[in-house]
Structure 1
Amino acid sequence: MNLPFFDAIKQLQDECLMFPAFETAYQQIEANLNLFRATGVAQNLLILGESGAGKTSLATIFTREYPKVSLPERDLIPVLHVTVPAAATIAGTVEAVLAQLGDHHPEKGTVSVKTARAVKIARACGVEMLLFDEAQHIQDRGRAHSQYFVGDWLKSFMDALGAPVTLLGLPRTQVLLQVNEQLRRRFTHRLFLSVQQRAEADEADSLRLFTSLANALPLPLDPRPYEWGELAKRLHFATDGRVAYVKKILVGSYSNAVSEACTSITVSDLSRAFSTTIWPSGVGALNPFHPSFPFRPLDRAGEPFQTGEMSGSSPSRRRQ
């Protein structure tokens, strides 16, 4: 593999497609920030999405639009992006906040001392919005009382800071809001991050997402032996319309094509990439690019898009 190959992979990874739900979520976060700047009113937002739907990309891209500014006397951080640590404790969560604020010793002090320090530094840095990514880690604390205490800390921290907050997490994050009523009242506005806006558009949306990202690669996509419409359906079942999985298949198939000195990305490359990058058991009729694939969602037990997050948390899908 040569330098142009790695440049193409990097360009693909950096590509972001503003599919409708992504753009709606971005615009809502921006509207909340503008409202706060104009009026001081803090509106909060909960953004839900399956793994790979683009939640972290959304938070990262928005944060880049409002970067930290280093002044001689202090840093200005208009948008603070914090990733909630796995199995989040109150101490671990506030330490993550302090680390992003540039505190040199985030582990020092009691929880109350750390929290007060985080609020003080955030105000000094001019924080106008908080983005809490991987919010399901708060819910994953296990028993309800543990979830409640972490959620209660988050509520108190939000109130002390007074800035708008966006929580981004898996659909099960909603359980946290069911446990903590006060937190639930602060996140009545919720959006679901999904490429699909309606069932009949699933395949077309997946193909549009795939081909738009594929434009970052120097090799064209060859649909043969399928027509574009059929390939669109197969791509949808192979990726579930999730940005991260589309990129996985593109990287894998492009790597296959380059290693074999091909002039295009073929269905055979897509098939191999699905088995190697998404689901090793996806061979034969279980591979969406195989002629015998039954055209059904791969969401059964042990399959890559296994269901079971939260009933009713995602948009309904057509079953075939």
Structure 2
Amino acid sequence: MNVLEQLQNNYIMHKSAKLAFRKIEMCINSTVDGGTPRSVLILGDAGAGKTAMLEVTKTHIIKNHPHEDINCDTFLFVEAPSPSSLKALQSAFYEEMGASKLDNQRHTEARRTKQIIELINKHGYKVIANDEVHHFTEKYKANHESVVCDFYKTVMRETGCAFILVGKPVAEKLVRSDDQLRRRFLGTSRLERFAPPHKGNREFQAFVNMYREACPVDHVDFSDDFLTRLYIACDGLPGLWHTLIELAIRTNPAKKLIDMNDIESAFEKEFQPSDVLGFNPFEASLLDVEHWLKTSFEA
């Protein structure tokens, strides 16, 4: 296993991860404890570590679950399509379960839903994870959310599966728009960005230190000045921090120690920051960096 492969196994730590994983475990256990299966909604901005949580869920929680009915063969992952529609979602289910795409074209939405339920029951799936579900709320159409909610309710009722729905914060209105669907959920976990290194807050520094301990390549000790620039570069999100470190390793794979030059080079050459960042924080003056952080934080 090379360094980059080891890095992928390094869980993207988040301050809300413990609670989120507890809800995911409760969700999974609800499919085999004799009660009513319950689902969970995981929300966070791009780069918060949502998809990484799904990977950990499959490779650790599902794979090592003590119940014989919970394993990788009974876990189904389906990414919500974009542009979004119920038909496109149904098509994604067909594809992940190896069904004929012709069926998706020939039958009505109700018939396709019935076939999907039959396939889920045939394969014996217990837990279904849907990533990127915010696609169903970003471009609103008349009755668009309601038909997707009806699909989820029907599949939950007829299969006894628990769902892990993952998306950006706007996805919350998908569940909240339907009381019957909302009551099938244990709740919502939000993966919010770390507090900025402002007025003595050390939350982001604690995360960087924790990540450093688990990373297969060591980092130099970063000054408070550089940590502030790092926070801005990755928008305080653990997933973007992980990407920045990965790019720094890829830029110079032979190095045994990541330093500030490696990170600056990775940011300049390959890194795609969040949309809100319109400048290079490693080139700006400290005064400009602190002003941007202060105004953004107070906003």
**Superposition TM-score, scaled by structure 2 size:** 0.79
Give the CA deviation at 1:131.
Answer: 1.2
1:85-164 matched pairs, under 5 angstroms: 85-105=81-101, 107-110=104-107, 111-164=109-162
Query: What is the aligned counterpart of 1:249 among 240, 244, 251?
Result: 244
How many angstroms apart in 1 are the aligned matches of 2:86 and 2:258?
Answer: 48
1:1-320 matched pairs, under 5 angstroms: 7-65=2-60, 66=62, 77-105=73-101, 107-110=104-107, 111-187=109-185, 189-194=187-192, 196=194, 200-212=201-213, 215-217=215-217, 220-223=218-221, 227=223, 229-258=224-253, 264-279=257-272, 286-290=279-283, 292-293=285-286, 294-295=289-290, 318-319=297-298
> Is 174-183 or 116-125 further displaced after alignment?
174-183
The answer to which structure, 1 or 2, has the higher relative contact order (CA under 8 A, 6+ apart) is 2
- Tell me, yes or no, if the aligned pair for 1:85 and 1:96 is still in contact at 8 Å: yes
Structure 2, unpaired ranges of 5+: 64-70
In the alignment, residue 84 of structure 1 is paired with which amino acid?
A: A
* Matched residue count: 282
Residue 267 and residue 145 in structure 1: after superposition, are their counterparts in 2 closer, same or farther (change >3 A)?
same
Give the CA deviation at 1:298.
Answer: 6.9
Give the CA deviation at 1:76.
Answer: 8.1
| Paired residue secondary structure (1:12) | helix
| Paired residue secondary structure (1:165) | strand
In the alignment, residue 169 of structure 1 is paired with which amino acid?
A: G
Give the CA deviation at 1:209.
Answer: 4.9
Residue 249 and residue 198 in structure 1: after superposition, are their counterparts in 2 closer, same or farther (change >3 A)?
closer
Structure 1, unpaired ranges of 5+: 68-74, 301-316
Residue 46 and residue 232 in structure 1: after superposition, are their counterparts in 2 closer, same or farther (change >3 A)?
same
| Paired residue secondary structure (2:208) | helix
- Tell me, yes or no, if the aligned pair for 2:219 and 2:257 is still in contact at 8 Å: yes
- Tell me, yes or no, if the aligned pair for 1:36 and 1:163 is still in contact at 8 Å: yes
- Tell me, yes or no, if the aligned pair for 2:12 and 2:49 is still in contact at 8 Å: no
Residue 137 and residue 100 in structure 1: after superposition, are their counterparts in 2 closer, same or farther (change >3 A)?
same
- Tell me, yes or no, if the aligned pair for 2:195 and 2:236 is still in contact at 8 Å: no
**Superposition TM-score, scaled by structure 1 size:** 0.74
| Paired residue secondary structure (1:88) | coil
